[in-house]
Structure 1
Amino acid sequence: MKIGQLDHVNLRTNQLDKMVTWYREILGLKDGPRPDFPFPGAWMYAGPTAAVHLVAAGGDESVGSESDLKLEHFAFSATGSAEFVARLQEHGEKFHRNELASINIVQFNIWDPDGNHIHVDFPLDE
């Protein structure tokens, strides 16, 4: 067996519409097809991949309902850091920039409306 790349993250939220809007406007993800689950939610796509699955809290309690579940962060790789910074500033989003020269990336640490930590990694020499 060989693990490939991360397929998606699943996040429960009490503010589904606000989260969909944030992932669309800040990260540029697109909402797209989702199976006909018996609970509300949305799948947010990065290209052809449904990278972020949002589940409305109060839905199916068997889906990530552990109250002490913690996620430190998840990350996306990307290109176009200047455009990304402009988008963050346009929306008044707080962020922290962190250069990791040893692995040639610059990370932008951001937080969604529910406080989930996300970093978006760009090539340092782009």
Structure 2
Amino acid sequence: MKLRLDHYNLRTPKMQETIDFYTEVLGLRVGPRPSTRPGAWLYDRADIPVVHVSGVDATNPQAMKELEAHLGAKDVSTLTGGGAIDHVAFDGPDFDGALAHLQRLGIAYVERDVPQLSLKQLFVTDPNGVTVELNFRLA
């Protein structure tokens, strides 16, 4: 079986902050989404919706009921960090450009080199405490 990442879903009460992070920091774009529930689908440069954001509004019982009917119930207080997920990773085309972009935005990052794989990496944290790994293959 050959698999590739299709998408991951973030259930968050910090919907706009999350959308802003993934669009402004990582360069994804908001695109079509087949739902009227609060949220967004964020598309990569290949036009694939790789991050699904499910908005949580504990003050709106109807929206919560619809969200839980779709994704199941979760305690809102647990919606931080990655749980059992350590990180999610994206490939990027331009390490120097990405590094300059993060610095320009004042985003904290950790840089790593993996010479065995001819790879440079940047790690950032989204507004929900999820670690995002950015991989850049060296030519």
Higher CA-based Rg: 2
Question: Do the aligned partners of 1:31 and 1:45 also contact (CA within 8 Å) in 2?
Answer: yes
Residue 10 (structure 1) aligned with residue 17 (structure 2): no
| Greater share of residues in helix | 2
Give me the identity figure in percent. Answer: 30
> Once the two structures are superposed, what CA deviation does each residue of 1:61-84 show, in whole Å capped at 9, x if it has no partner?
252644564321100011111110
Deviations 1:12-38 (A, max 9, x none): 11111111111111000000000024x
Structure showing the higher strand proportion among its residues: 1
TM-score, normalization: structure 1? 0.89
Equivalenced residues, count = 123
Where does the alignment leave 5 or more consecutive residues of structure 2 unmatched?
58-63
Structure 2 vs 1, CA of residues 41 and 99 (structure 1 numbering), >3 Å: closer, same or farther?
Answer: same
Please name the residue that 1:43 is paired with. Answer: 41
Match of 1:20 in 2: 19
Note the alpha carbon deviations across 1:36-76, whole angstroms, 9 max, x for none: 24x21100000210000000124312526445643211000
- C-alpha root-mean-square deviation of aligned residues, in Å? 1.7
User: 1:12–1:64: 8 Å Cα contact kept in structure 2?
Assistant: no
Moved more, 27-36 or 65-74: 65-74
Distance 2:2 2:127 in 1: 31
- Local SS of the residue matching 2:90: strand
Q: How far apart are the structure 1 equivalents of 2:72 and 2:100?
A: 34
**What TM-score do the two structures reach when normalised by structure 2?**
0.81
